[in-house]
Structure 1
Amino acid sequence: ARDVVVLSADLPFLTANTVRRLLTALRAAGTDGALLTDADGRDQPLVAAYRASALRRELTTLTTAHDGLTGLPLRRLTAGLHLTRVPDPVASFDCDTWDDIAAARARIREHGPVLDEWISAVKAELGIELDVDTGVLLDLARDAAHNVARPGAPLTTFLVGYAAAQAGGGPEAVAEAARKATALALAWPDEEASGAKPGDAEPGTDAG
């Protein structure tokens, strides 16, 4: 291979886009390697893309000079390389301590992937198989909280789930119930201002 990508296993925010950025920087600059730098500007040589030929050259030099590579720090290898630096305080965040892991988990909770894990766990616990469109349900919860009241968010999503089950279940039933509830939530402020609530029966009609 012409290029070698090195990635450590303690990078919770590393993405495929990060790897593409490193390879693009390496090829554009024509240097021996491209590596990330962290929030403090420190090099992260284990999040990098290197020219294979440059690595072989430096490894050969170090092996000859030290009669082997055992015990040598990585910085001895990278010191002989001409490197391009790519700042990325997020992707370069590594978990070396329990505090680092706690910080990473807190950040993940803020950015959503934990929802997928949680939904999978809940479905397994409840013994159900259903593809959940989290975007639709979160939008519905937002609309209910904003247009009705904050406690309306979880109550509305519960009622949507119940209605979908009554209609036979499945993604289509959830989507239809969510559509109706969303329309109701969006219309709620105007109807409340006029004194009538969406869903109220017209005078002289049978509410049943």
Structure 2
Amino acid sequence: MGPGAGPFDAVVLAGGRARRFGADKPAAPLGGRALIEWTAAAASGASRLIVVGPPRDVLPGAVLVREDPPGAGPLPALRAGLAEVRAPRLALLAADMPFLRPAHLARLLDAMGGRRGAVLVDEDGREQWLAGCWRADALRTALGAYTGASLRGLLGPLGPAAVALPAGTRPAWFDCDTPEELAAAERLL
């Protein structure tokens, strides 16, 4: 077993207002599946799949929770999801990443080593805060002390390992924030 072996839970943030998308983005169809199903498949190795957002019928067996108030943003969503985490580590993921795969999560978990987390970086080296793996206790401690409102402000100081993957034609960090990006993802599938 490699350093990344061992249990982890997955927290998928699937709420939000999707202002740029104009519809229920996680439920949007792509290649015969809802976007959120692609992300859930990437987290298939998780002990528990925790979905933060409105109820959807596409993920039987998932633990469903809501942030308070609904649509309040990623930090309240993370707080709600983290309350359901039982494993010592977790993957924190956006619900709209159709090219993320289990091998990418394995790479993140391996990259953690003794660190508090690991996060994917895009081809320009920018952290993708909703494509990372974290130690649950470190996130709980950080959330308890954090008074800001951004994921970067919460997660950046944890000093995560930066994991760069070959971009290829279907980068793991690609997300579908607009109908145009969803159409582009459909073409890339």
Taking structure 2 as the reference length, what is the TM-score of the superposition?
0.49
**Structure number, greater radius of gyration:** 1
Taking structure 1 as the reference length, what is the TM-score of the superposition?
0.45
More relative contact order in 1 or in 2 (CA 8 Å, sep 6+)?
2
Higher share in helix: 1
